[in-house]
Amino acid sequence: MKYSGITLKKPKVGFFDFTGCEGCQLQITNKEENLKALFGLVEVVNFREISSERRDDYEIAFIDGCITTDSEVARLKKIREQAGILVAMGACACLGGVNNLRSRFPLPDVVKEVYDGHHVDTGPVRKVAEIVPVDIELPGCPISKHEFEWLVRHLVLGIEPQFPKYPVCVECKQRLNSCVLDMGMMCLGPVTRAGCNAVCPRNRLGCWGCRGPSEEANFESLMEILREKGFTEEHIAERVKFFNAFSGILNSDC
């Protein structure tokens, strides 16, 4: 593989699933017309969705899912030791994600409700960065294939990826969407990192913040706007807490 006369090295990559639906890994395998080109750029040494090969000489590790068990903590630390670059991939790995919903309830109650009293080795929901240092966060629920391919190109060229710092509104306006807040729907687009091409508002669904906060997002202003529009504290809290993307910005009482 050459780029402008320079021979590119194929980095060895591994994909590892933790607590989550593994949908982010599925996203990567979904875009069949690009698979050959994509896997021509890297050497996959560990990716259970596409290969039975299991090697541990990867240079880049992609982590999918949040961390909930002691065994996962140990496994993650081992991966971190091996990987030169560790990428947290998707809302669960980057934020805790949907799984974090259970953190609202006492853990024994959750286990009882779901597993009917069977012993389950599970602990609090944590994002990857709470356990080990993360080099790159690839956001989204699920991740976007387009953005994944863009990231891989950066990794192969050794260029630091620059994710959009601005919120979803920019892309939403560029697609000439109607503002769903004007239509009476709740939307976190004004404080959520862009890069998704406003796919939810495009389909008349307010943003749920799966990509995490935009940089220096003005939460206070959006909260004031949502309250003025008549959304209840419960409604706001439900939305804001959904992906665990905005923890620490709300009053503890909502």
Contact residues: other proteins, CB under 8 A: 1-5, 8, 34, 37-38, 40-41, 149-150, 152-153, 165-167, 169-170, 173-174, 176, 178-179, 181-184, 189-191, 204, 214-218, 221-222, 224-225
Q: Which is nearer to other proteins, 7 or 52 (CB)?
A: 7
Question: For residue 31, which of 158, 138, 152, 139 has the smallest C-alpha distance?
Answer: 152
**Closest separation in Å from C-beta 251 to other proteins:** 19
In the complex, minimum distance from the CB of residue 169 to other proteins, in angstroms, rounded to a whole number: 4
Residue showing tokens 């998704």? 196
Nearest to other proteins of 112, 204 (CB atom): 204
Neighbour tally for 115: CB within 10 Å: 11
| Nearer Cβ to other proteins (20/139) | 139
Question: What residues are paired with 89 via a beta bridge?
Answer: 64, 138
Burial class (CB in 10 A: 0-12, 13-18, 19+), 216: exposed
Minimum Å gap between C-beta 89 and other proteins is 18
Distance of CA 48 to the CA centre of its chain: 20
Pick between residue 44 and residue 191 the one whose CB is nearest to other proteins: 191
Which residues fall within 8 angstroms of residue 31, CB to CB, at 6 or more apart? 38, 145, 149
Nearer to other proteins, 102 or 193 (CB): 193
Residue 254 Cβ vs other proteins, minimum distance, rounded to whole Å: 20
Residues 6+ apart with CB under 8 A from 185: 204, 205, 206
Task: Output the smallest distance, CB 135 to other proteins, in A.
Answer: 18
Q: Which residues pair with 87 in a beta bridge?
A: 62, 136
Nearer to other proteins, 31 or 48 (CB): 31
Of 156, 106, 110, nearest to 1 by C-alpha is 156
- Min CB(184)–other proteins separation in Å: 5
